[in-house]
């Protein structure tokens, strides 16, 4: 170890520093400094050439003055001069000064670079290291441009000394991080990997850091590092505690290097080579074994270093997530740490276990520690440890322990730190919904949440409970009863009043039979809270009152009295005043029937994602909810936790996290269509209905189904000549549709409204209506983040010759979408003639500076322009026969992807647009439909027949239209839906 010798010190510098320290006041210090600056300036400007020692001393003084916070505007040249000195101490001071006070004077830069170049070429390892350190410390782009190419060469040169290699590796790492484009990849990369084999542990350590960074960008180029890292790790792990001399830390061999090697391995999947993998597993086992051995030293440094390796080993085991044995052992080890007296270990163990909980192999093992974790939540004195415990409980929660965990979290909430209350509330709300076995438990839980931590219950949470209660009639009575009881508490939170007001307004009638909760009692209970509430809540309560008038006519007089009171009718708040006036008038003017219609019970909410989860994610940043959406899903949860949609026609989503994506609700791709030849084999399966009639000769033009070709020019050229609006960019400007685009499109074949797309940033909702060959579509773009989207630009693009088939007029929308805001875009659509591909919707915007772009298929399919046609059986068969050319028919036989429910099928066919004809098909199981596709240029008559076979769980779908591509296209579209 090089000692700092006192004799080498510069006396003048020491005196100056002690003078400064002895200064009694700021003024005295400044005075002393100015004196010194004048002195140095005169020395530098003097005639007498200064020797190296003096230069070094003065440069040091300048540096010291600079570090005290004063500006230095001279001395750079003298420092640069020092760089070319042959004395280490002088050169070192020169570099030190340059590194701290980089001057952008180009003349100086040239000189500095020159000096560095000389030192790099000097073959003197100390000088080379000084130069490398300077490059790394400055780390500027200019430095990178000048030297990035030289350093790899030094790094892999056979004759470089260890210390130089070490510095070169770290210098290169620094330059690569600053400007990756400047570091040329090349032949040296292969040789860098071999530094993992280097004799010198310092070189290995530096090389691992470099490779870990480089391999993230080019994993394939560095793949060979896996086996080298494994063998290096194996040698370290199995070495005796004294083998590595300097690199042994309190009897632990090379702990930091081990950690780095384990981290490097986490950049890759498990090794493919069985031998390498075997060796690695052996290493991991050794580390786990060592944790159980008695420590070689009682010192805490020993166990800390050992545990550092252990935690990184566990990270790697979790990263691989493929060795059940190791995962369970890791879990047991962490379980021991959960009760360790060191807070640090408890914290880290909880944190690691959180990721273990999401592995299917160790989830059960993690669950065994539930009592310890709950205990931690109750007794830990450190809030960050408690927070980890809460996170872990959330991650380990499943159907089996949800009740216990939710009730513990509720209990914790009463004493929880304010900073994390909202997060706990969200987590409880999510778990309660996700794992609700019965919804009365869910309602109880949420009402408890409001009771315990009402201030932290965000709108999302209480909205959600209302959605769920509205959509599930089995829980409505219970909910009404429970909120009624909750409202009887002398002081209840305003959120409780909101939920209570809404639920009683909708379902108060369900408990009105009980004299204890008769209508007047309900009303006076709610009204007793009225005056304590905010405007928003009072507005909500006014709506409840008018609903009461409808539900309970006997309360009408009382409520009218309340509405008529001056405090309502002349309320200073416009909203309240308006409600009071309108409701009062409504109640007195409207007849009972009208009232009943206007104030009807709210319809079920449309299928919607849980906004709570989105909120939690927003709070915690991306990836925070990962413990929840880990993909472990309980199939049995479908029926009850299927989100809020009550209709069986929508695919129920098993968890709120799945809901959030919105994509999973799309039907899975249809089973591949049976080859046409196979159709014959299946005929007997399906042949309950009449066999297709033999053709009686095509006379389509006589039927109503004939194409009503207008005399307008039909040639594509003529249409192309028509100058189309050029507002939309050409298709070459937009990317290909996202992979899910087809699935998303399929969702909308049979319906016109819903959520078209959703990710973490953006939600796109669609509302559309079609009549004849015209359509209007409203697109709603919702910004889900709290950050404004900029340059927001949704455009509709017509790929191919769609331009001639479909006209879509769009209005521009505002280029900025504020966080949380929604903008609406109206599209006017005209179908000119039949088309096969939907237009593309391209959405581009900037989010936090990063450009985002997204291309979707606009849910406009040819069937939207269907006009249903009713006809008798006789007419149907006549037309069916007329359309008997082979190319007019399209048929598909396919497996059912959804339960075969006749009502659902009917709804889908109607949604598809055709009329459903009863009593046409002799087999009542079959569906028959007819309609005309309206386009500007022509009309296409369509007949369809769907034959379900419940036994085989298959369908046969037959389409006949007067246009061949339309038959095929409709058949494809419709077949996806069942």
Residues contributing to the annotated binding site: 11-12, 43, 53, 57-61
311 binds other proteins (CB under 8 A): yes
The distance of closest approach from Cβ of residue 315 to other proteins in the complex, given in angstroms and rounded to an integer, is: 8
64 binds other proteins (CB under 8 A): no
Q: Is the dihedral of CA 227, 233, 235, 237 positive or negative?
A: negative
Task: Single out the segment in contact with other proteins by CB under 8 A; choices: 154-162, 254-262, 886-894, 914-922.
Answer: 254-262
The distance of closest approach from Cβ of residue 155 to other proteins in the complex, given in angstroms and rounded to an integer, is: 20
Region of residue 759 (phi > 0: left; psi between -120 and 50: alpha; otherwise: beta): beta
CA distance 755 to 506: 26
760 binds other proteins (CB under 8 A): no
312 binds other proteins (CB under 8 A): yes
Closer to other proteins by CB, 251 or 256: give it. 256
The distance of closest approach from Cβ of residue 10 to other proteins in the complex, given in angstroms and rounded to an integer, is: 18
Q: Which two tokens stand for residue 472?
A: 């599930």
Task: Single out the segment in contact with other proteins by CB under 8 A; choices: 151-159, 309-317, 499-507, 516-524.
Answer: 309-317
Instruction: Candidates 16, 97, 247, 249: give the one binding other proteins (CB under 8 A).
Output: 249
The distance of closest approach from Cβ of residue 177 to other proteins in the complex, given in angstroms and rounded to an integer, is: 8
Task: Single out the segment in contact with other proteins by CB under 8 A; choices: 42-50, 236-244, 311-319, 825-833.
Answer: 311-319
Closer to other proteins by CB, 13 or 586: give it. 13
Total number of residues binding other proteins (CB under 8 A)?
28
315 binds other proteins (CB under 8 A): yes
List of residues 6+ apart from 93 with CB closer than 8 A: 56, 59, 60, 63, 79, 82
The distance of closest approach from Cβ of residue 59 to other proteins in the complex, given in angstroms and rounded to an integer, is: 21
Q: In what order do the strands lie in the sheet with 789-797?
A: 789-797, 840-847, 850-857
Parallel, antiparallel or unpaired: strands 252-253 and 774-783: unpaired
Closer to other proteins by CB, 36 or 312: give it. 312
The distance of closest approach from Cβ of residue 72 to other proteins in the complex, given in angstroms and rounded to an integer, is: 15
The distance of closest approach from Cβ of residue 386 to other proteins in the complex, given in angstroms and rounded to an integer, is: 11
- CA-wise closest residue to 293 among 312, 313, 310: 310
The distance of closest approach from Cβ of residue 609 to other proteins in the complex, given in angstroms and rounded to an integer, is: 25
Q: What is the DSSP string of 114-129?
A: HHHHHHHTS--HHHHH
The distance of closest approach from Cβ of residue 120 to other proteins in the complex, given in angstroms and rounded to an integer, is: 23
785 binds other proteins (CB under 8 A): no
Parallel, antiparallel or unpaired: strands 789-797 and 806-810: unpaired
66 binds other proteins (CB under 8 A): no
Phi, psi of 776 (to 5 degrees): -130, 135
Task: Single out the segment in contact with other proteins by CB under 8 A; choices: 269-277, 299-307, 545-553, 732-740.
Answer: 299-307
Task: Single out the segment in contact with other proteins by CB under 8 A; choices: 188-196, 327-335, 339-347, 751-759.
Answer: 339-347
259 binds other proteins (CB under 8 A): yes
Closer to other proteins by CB, 124 or 179: give it. 179
375 binds other proteins (CB under 8 A): no
Which x/- pattern over 345-374 shows residues binding other proteins (rule: CB under 8 A)? Answer: -xxx--------------------------
- CA-wise closest residue to 504 among 489, 490, 485: 485
Residues in the chain: 978
Which x/- pattern over 505-544 shows residues binding other proteins (rule: CB under 8 A)? Answer: ----------------------------------------
Cross-strand bridge partners of residue 253: 248
Q: Which two tokens stand for residue 695?
A: 């053709």
Give the containing element (helix H, strand E) for 932: strand 927-934
Give the containing element (helix H, strand E) for 827: strand 822-831
- CA-wise closest residue to 956 among 690, 746, 679: 679
Parallel, antiparallel or unpaired: strands 927-934 and 915-916: antiparallel
The distance of closest approach from Cβ of residue 139 to other proteins in the complex, given in angstroms and rounded to an integer, is: 9
CB atoms within 10 A of CB 373: 26
1 binds other proteins (CB under 8 A): yes
List of residues 6+ apart from 474 with CB closer than 8 A: 439
CA distance 123 to 591: 102
Instruction: Candidates 46, 621, 694, 739: give the one binding other proteins (CB under 8 A).
Output: 621
CA distance 381 to 376: 9
Closer to other proteins by CB, 308 or 431: give it. 308
Q: Are 93 and 59 in contact (CB under 8 A)?
A: yes
CA distance 498 to 458: 12
322 binds other proteins (CB under 8 A): no
Closer to other proteins by CB, 347 or 462: give it. 347
Task: Single out the segment in contact with other proteins by CB under 8 A; choices: 37-45, 57-65, 344-352, 940-948.
Answer: 344-352
Cross-strand bridge partners of residue 854: 843
Closer to other proteins by CB, 292 or 647: give it. 292
Q: Are 805 and 831 in contact (CB under 8 A)?
A: yes
Task: Single out the segment in contact with other proteins by CB under 8 A; choices: 375-383, 454-462, 482-490, 524-532.
Answer: 375-383
Give the per-residue SS3 of 450-479.
HHHHHHHCCHHHHHHHHHHHHHCHHHHHHH
Q: CA-CA distances (angstroms) from residue 318 to 359, 514, 626, 664, 775? A: 8, 57, 14, 27, 53
Query: Which residues 818-857 are close enough to bind other proteins by CB under 8 A?
Result: none
Instruction: Candidates 301, 339, 687, 695: give the one binding other proteins (CB under 8 A).
Output: 301
CA distance 643 to 656: 7
263 binds other proteins (CB under 8 A): yes
The distance of closest approach from Cβ of residue 348 to other proteins in the complex, given in angstroms and rounded to an integer, is: 6
417 binds other proteins (CB under 8 A): no
Instruction: Candidates 305, 409, 510, 526: give the one binding other proteins (CB under 8 A).
Output: 305
The distance of closest approach from Cβ of residue 260 to other proteins in the complex, given in angstroms and rounded to an integer, is: 9
CA distance 116 to 119: 5
Query: Which residues 377-396 are close enough to bind other proteins by CB under 8 A?
Result: 381-385
Angle at 208 between CA 203 and CA 210, to 5 degrees: 95
Q: Are 50 and 43 in contact (CB under 8 A)?
A: yes
Residue with tokens 């005796």: 240
Q: What is the DSSP string of 192-231?
A: HHGGGG-S-HHHHHHHHHHHHHHHHH-GGGGTTHHHHHHH
Instruction: Candidates 224, 304, 537, 788: give the one binding other proteins (CB under 8 A).
Output: 304
CA distance 831 to 775: 8
The distance of closest approach from Cβ of residue 621 to other proteins in the complex, given in angstroms and rounded to an integer, is: 7
Closer to other proteins by CB, 202 or 868: give it. 202
Burial-class residue 475 by CB neighbours within 10 Å (0-12, 13-18, 19+).
buried
The distance of closest approach from Cβ of residue 843 to other proteins in the complex, given in angstroms and rounded to an integer, is: 27
Instruction: Candidates 307, 522, 568, 905: give the one binding other proteins (CB under 8 A).
Output: 307
Task: Single out the segment in contact with other proteins by CB under 8 A; choices: 116-124, 151-159, 256-264, 879-887.
Answer: 256-264
Which x/- pattern over 191-230 shows residues binding other proteins (rule: CB under 8 A)? Answer: ----------------------------------------
Which stretches of 300-342 are DSSP H helices?
300-320, 324-338
Angle at 811 between CA 809 and CA 815, to 5 degrees: 145
Number of C-alpha atoms within 13 angstroms, CB side, residue 595?
A: 22
Closer to other proteins by CB, 348 or 468: give it. 348
The distance of closest approach from Cβ of residue 850 to other proteins in the complex, given in angstroms and rounded to an integer, is: 16
Q: Which residues bind other proteins (CB under 8 A)?
A: 1, 3-4, 249, 255-256, 259, 263, 301, 304-305, 307-309, 311-312, 315, 343-344, 346-348, 381-385, 621
């Amino acid at each position: 170890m090089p000692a700092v010798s006192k004799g080498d010190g510069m006396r003048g510098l020491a005196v100056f520093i002690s003078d400064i320290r002895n200064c009694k006041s700021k003024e005295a210090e400044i005075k002393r400094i100015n004196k010194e600056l004048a002195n140095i300036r005169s020395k530098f400007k003097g005639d007498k050439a200064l020797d190296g020692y003096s230069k070094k001393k003065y440069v040091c003084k300048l540096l010291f003055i600079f570090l005290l916070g004063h500006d230095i505007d001279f001395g750079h040249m003298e420092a640069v001069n020092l760089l070319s000195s042959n004395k280490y101490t002088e050169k070192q001071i020169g570099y030190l000064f340059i590194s701290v006070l980089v001057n952008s004077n180009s003349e100086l830069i040239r000189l500095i670079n020159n000096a560095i170049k000389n030192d790099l070429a000097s073959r003197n390892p100390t000088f080379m290291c000084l130069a490398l350190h300077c490059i790394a410390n400055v780390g500027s782009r200019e430095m990178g441009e000048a030297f990035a190419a030289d350093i790899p060469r030094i790094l892999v040169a056979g004759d470089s000394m260890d210390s130089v290699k070490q510095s070169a590796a770290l210098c290169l790492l620094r330059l690569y991080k600053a400007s990756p484009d400047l570091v040329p990849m090349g032949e040296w990369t292969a040789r860098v990997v071999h530094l993992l084999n280097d004799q010198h542990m310092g070189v290995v350590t530096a090389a691992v850091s470099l490779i870990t960074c480089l391999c993230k960008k080019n994993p394939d180029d560095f793949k060979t590092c896996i086996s080298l890292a494994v063998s290096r790790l194996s040698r370290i792990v199995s070495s005796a505690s004294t083998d590595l001399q300097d690199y042994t830390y309190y009897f632990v061999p090379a702990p930091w290097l081990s950690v780095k090697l384990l981290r490097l391995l986490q950049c890759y999947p498990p090794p493919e080579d069985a031998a390498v993998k075997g060796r690695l597993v052996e290493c991991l086992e050794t580390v786990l074994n060592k944790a159980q051995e008695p420590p070689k030293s009682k010192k805490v440094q020993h166990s800390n270093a050992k545990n550092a390796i252990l935690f990184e080993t566990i990270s790697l085991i979790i990263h691989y997530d493929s060795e059940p044995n190791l995962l369970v052992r890791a879990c047991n080890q962490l379980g021991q740490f959960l009760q360790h007296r060191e807070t640090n270990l408890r914290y880290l163990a909880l944190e690691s276990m959180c990721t273990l909980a999401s592995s299917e192999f160790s989830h059960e093992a993690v669950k065994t520690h539930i009592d310890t974790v709950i205990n931690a939540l109750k007794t830990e004195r450190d809030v960050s440890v408690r927070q980890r415990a809460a996170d872990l409980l959330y991650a380990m929660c499943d159907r089996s322990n949800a009740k216990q965990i939710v009730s513990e979290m509720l209990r914790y909430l009463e004493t929880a730190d304010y900073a994390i209350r909202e997060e706990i509330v969200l987590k409880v709300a999510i778990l309660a919904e996700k794992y609700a076995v019965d919804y009365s438990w869910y309602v109880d839980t949420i009402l408890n949440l409001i009771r315990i931590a009402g201030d932290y219950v965000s709108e999302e949470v209480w909205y959600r409970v209302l959605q769920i209660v509205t959509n599930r009639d089995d829980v409505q009575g219970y909910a009404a009863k429970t909120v009624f009881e909750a409202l009887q508490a002398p002081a209840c939170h305003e959120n409780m009043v909101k939920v209570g007001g809404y639920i009683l307004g909708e379902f108060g009638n369900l408990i009105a039979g009980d004299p204890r909760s008769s209508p007047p009692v309900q009303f006076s209970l709610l009204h007793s809270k009225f005056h304590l509430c905010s405007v928003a809540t009072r507005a909500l309560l006014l709506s409840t009152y008018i609903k009461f008038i409808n539900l309970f006519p006997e309360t009408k007089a009382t409520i009218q009295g309340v509405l008529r009171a001056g405090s309502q009718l002349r309320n200073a708040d416009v909203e309240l005043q308006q409600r009071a006036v309108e409701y009062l008038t409504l109640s007195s003017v409207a007849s009972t029937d009208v009232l009943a219609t206007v104030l009807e019970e709210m319809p079920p909410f449309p299928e919607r994602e849980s906004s709570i989860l989105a909120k939690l994610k927003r709070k915690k940043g991306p990836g925070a909810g990962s413990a929840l959406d880990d993909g472990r899903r309980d199939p049995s949860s479908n029926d009850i936790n299927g989100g809020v949609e009550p209709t069986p026609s929508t695919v129920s989503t098993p968890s709120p996290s799945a809901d959030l994506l919105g994509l999973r609700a799309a039907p899975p791709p249809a089973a591949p269509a049976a080859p046409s030849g196979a159709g014959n084999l299946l005929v007997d399966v399906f042949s309950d209905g009449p066999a297709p009639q033999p053709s009686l000769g095509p006379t389509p033009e006589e039927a109503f189904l004939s194409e009503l070709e207008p005399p307008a020019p039909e040639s594509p050229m003529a249409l192309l000549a028509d100058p189309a609006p050029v507002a939309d960019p050409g298709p070459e400007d937009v990317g290909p549709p996202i992979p899910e685009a087809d699935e998303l499109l399929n969702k909308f074949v049979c319906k016109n409204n819903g959520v078209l797309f959703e990710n973490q940033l953006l939600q796109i909702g669609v509302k559309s209506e079609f009549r004849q060959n015209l359509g209007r579509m409203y697109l709603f773009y919702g910004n889900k983040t709290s950050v404004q989207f900029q340059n927001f630009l949704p455009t509709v693009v017509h790929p191919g010759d769609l331009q001639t088939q479909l006209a879509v007029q769009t209005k521009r929308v505002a280029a900025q979408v504020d966080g949380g805001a929604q903008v609406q875009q109206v599209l006017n659509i005209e179908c000119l003639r039949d088309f096969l591909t939907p237009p593309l919707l391209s959405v581009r915007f900037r989010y936090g500076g990063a450009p985002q772009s997204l291309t979707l298929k606009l849910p406009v399919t040819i069937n939207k322009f269907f006009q249903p046609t009713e006809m008798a059986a006789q007419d149907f068969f006549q037309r069916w026969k007329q359309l008997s050319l082979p190319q007019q028919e399209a048929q598909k036989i396919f497996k059912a992807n959804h339960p075969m429910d006749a009502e659902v099928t009917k709804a889908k066919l109607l949604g598809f647009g055709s009329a459903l004809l009863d009593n046409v098909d002799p087999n009542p199981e079959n569906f028959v439909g007819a309609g005309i596709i309206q386009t500007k240029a022509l009309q296409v008559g369509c007949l369809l027949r769907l034959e379900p076979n419940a036994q085989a769980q298959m369908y046969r779908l037959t389409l006949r239209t007067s246009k061949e591509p339309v038959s095929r296209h409709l058949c494809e579209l419709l077949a996806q839906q069942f």
